[in-house]
């Protein structure tokens, strides 16, 4: 079947939370608060790293990349989520939905790559501290950032063409207030084997590999830390990893839950799918700035100085 002679709907219909349609206006308030925290918190961290010279270090450059990906992820979902819950405007054009799907998965993959880069930063800082400045130069950090972004866009680009080759003739109603590839595939009335195989390949070769390498880095870090004689020093070193470990858990636990529900929970109630997807997309951008502000004293002090300076 050709790429341009298939049947596509002019638009898709987005869905809020099944069974709670009458409460969407009330749910819009908490959603707006979450978006405000995500956008505001991550923007503050970006500004803190920009203005404070003491934060011009590899660890904080990677944190800036994480904050940027969280802002981008929030901006990718914000228009359709707020339109669905605040205005009950559920229509989204086919091409707009395709672009949103691409951006959501791209920024999600980018965040995974940044978390891997941050684990490498912790590994070098703890296991080879004397070479830390020589290994993680500004040029290396920039190359890592470019590679992470390029990987996300290049590996996901085929999804656009693979989906556009599918005829959509069953329904045009999506299960969420934003567009996700697994959800959109369900509407196809053709064989989706190629899409499923490629989607699984993307999942394993990027998120799966990132998780494995992060786990491996912490095995090596733990091995190095256990060689330190002083218990106080061991705890001090491990404390530098707490923020990153929490960020990894906040990102990967919901992602694993979403993947599990989509692949093995086909008979689960519909609200379970919606809830897991919302947790996966909304929780990391909200919690990451809170985690790093609370657990990293350098970030916390800079933010306090910034707000004091604004008052004067």
Q: What is the pLDDT of residue 175?
A: 82
Mean pLDDT of 70-82: 92
Give me the DSSP letters along 212-267. HHHHHHHHHHHHHHTT-S-HHHHHHHHHTTHHHHHHHHHHHHHHHHHHHHHHH-TT
Model confidence over 81-91: pLDDT tens digits? Answer: 888 888 888 89
Mean pLDDT of 106-131: 95
What pLDDT is recorded for position 223? 93
C-alpha to C-alpha distance for 126 and 225, rounded to whole angstroms: 8
What pLDDT is attached to residue 92? 93
The pLDDT-based confidence of 43 (bands split at 50, 70, 90) is very high
- Residue 213: is its pLDDT beyond 90? yes
Confidence of residue 68 (pLDDT cuts 50, 70, 90): very high
**In this structure, how many other beta carbons lie within 10 angstroms of the beta carbon of residue 308?**
9
Closest CA to 8 of 100, 92, 109: 92
Coil, strand, or helix at residue 173? Answer: strand
Contacts of range 307-311, beta carbons closer than 8 Å, 24 or more positions apart: none
CA gap 71, 42 in Å, rounded: 7
- pLDDT range class, residue 188, cuts 50, 70, 90: confident
* Whole-number pLDDT of residue 21: 67
Beta bridge partners of 12: 92
pLDDT of residue 66: 96
Q: What is the pLDDT of residue 1?
A: 42
What pLDDT is stored for residue 190 in this prediction? Answer: 84
Report the pLDDT value the prediction gives residue 84, as an integer from 0 to 100.
86
Choose the weakest-confidence range: 56-70, 111-125, 226-240.
226-240
Cα-Cα end-to-end distance for the chain: 66
pLDDT of 125: 94
Burial degree of 229 (CB within 10 A; 0-12, 13-18, 19+): exposed
Inform me whether the pLDDT recorded for 124 exceeds 90.
Answer: yes
Mean pLDDT value across residues 267-288: 82
Please check the confidence at residue 225 and state whether its pLDDT lies above 70.
Answer: yes
Higher pLDDT pick, 158 / 267: 158
Residue 121 or residue 23, greater confidence: 121
**Residue 61: which of 6, 127, 5, 139 has the closest Cα?**
139
| 92 phi/psi in degrees, rounded to 5 | -140, 130
Residue 30's pLDDT band, with cuts at 50, 70 and 90, is confident
Mean pLDDT over residues 37-61, rounded? 94
Smallest CA-to-CA distance from 254 within 154, 152, 69, 112 is with 112
At 135, list the tokens: 């290994």
CA dist., res. 143 & res. 149, Å (int): 10
In the numeric block, the tokens 């993680």 are attached to 136
Q: Percent of the chain having pLDDT more than 70?
A: 94
Q: How many C-beta atoms surround the C-beta of residue 205 within 10 A?
A: 12
Distance CA 172, CA 176 (A): 12
Do residues 261 and 182 lie in contact, with contact meaning Cβ atoms separated by under 8 Å? Answer: no
pLDDT bin (cut points 50, 70, 90) of residue 75 is very high
Q: CA–CA distance from 118 to each of 64, 233, 243, 265 (Å)?
A: 11, 21, 11, 32
| pLDDT, position 265 | 66
Q: What is the pLDDT of residue 291?
A: 94
Residue 5 banded pLDDT, cuts 50, 70, 90: low
DSSP 8-class letter at 167 = -
Q: How many CB atoms lie within 10 A of CB 227?
A: 9
Coil, helix or strand for 90?
coil
High-pLDDT (> 90) share of the chain, %: 54
Which stretch of 24-28, 252-256, 264-268 has the lowest confidence by average pLDDT? Answer: 264-268
**Is residue 2's pLDDT more than 50?**
no
Task: Check whether 61 has a pLDDT greater than 60.
Answer: yes
Contacts within 8 Å (CB) and 24+ apart, 156-161: 156/102, 156/105, 156/106, 156/109, 156/202, 157/102, 158/198, 159/101, 159/102, 159/105, 159/195, 159/198, 159/199, 159/202, 160/98, 160/102, 161/3
């Amino acid at each position: 079947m050709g790429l341009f002679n298939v049947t596509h709907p002019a638009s898709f219909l987005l869905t809020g939370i099944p069974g709670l349609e009458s409460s969407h206006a009330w749910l819009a308030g908490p959603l707006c608060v979450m978006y405000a925290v995500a956008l505001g918190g991550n923007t503050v961290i970006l500004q803190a790293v920009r203005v404070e010279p003491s934060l011009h270090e590899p660890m904080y450059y990677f944190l800036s990349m994480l904050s940027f990906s969280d802002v981008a992820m929030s901006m990718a979902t914000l228009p359709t989520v707020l339109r669905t819950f605040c205005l009950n405007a559920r229509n989204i054009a086919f091409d707009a939905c395709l672009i949103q799907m691409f951006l959501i998965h791209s920024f999600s993959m980018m965040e995974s790559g940044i978390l891997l880069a941050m684990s490498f930063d912790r590994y070098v800082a703890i296991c080879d501290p004397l070479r830390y400045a020589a290994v993680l130069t500004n040029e290396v950090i920039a190359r890592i950032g470019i590679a992470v972004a390029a990987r996300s866009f290049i590996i996901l680009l085929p999804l656009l063409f693979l989906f556009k080759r599918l005829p959509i003739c069953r329904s045009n109603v999506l299960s969420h207030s934003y567009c996700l590839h697994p959800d959109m595939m369900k509407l196809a009335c053709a064989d989706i084997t190629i899409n499923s195989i490629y989607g699984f390949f993307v999942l394993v070769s990027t998120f799966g590999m990132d998780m494995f390498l992060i786990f491996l880095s912490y095995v090596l870090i733990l091995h190095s830390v256990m060689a330190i004689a002083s218990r106080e020093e061991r705890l001090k070193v491990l404390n530098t990893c707490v923020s990153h470990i929490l960020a990894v858990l906040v990102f990967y636990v919901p992602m694993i839950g979403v993947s599990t529900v989509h692949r093995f929970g086909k008979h689960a109630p519909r609200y379970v799918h919606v809830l897991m997807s919302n947790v996966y997309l909304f929780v990391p951008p909200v919690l990451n700035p809170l985690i790093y502000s609370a657990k990293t004293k350098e970030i916390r002090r800079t933010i306090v100085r910034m707000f004091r300076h604004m008052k004067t």
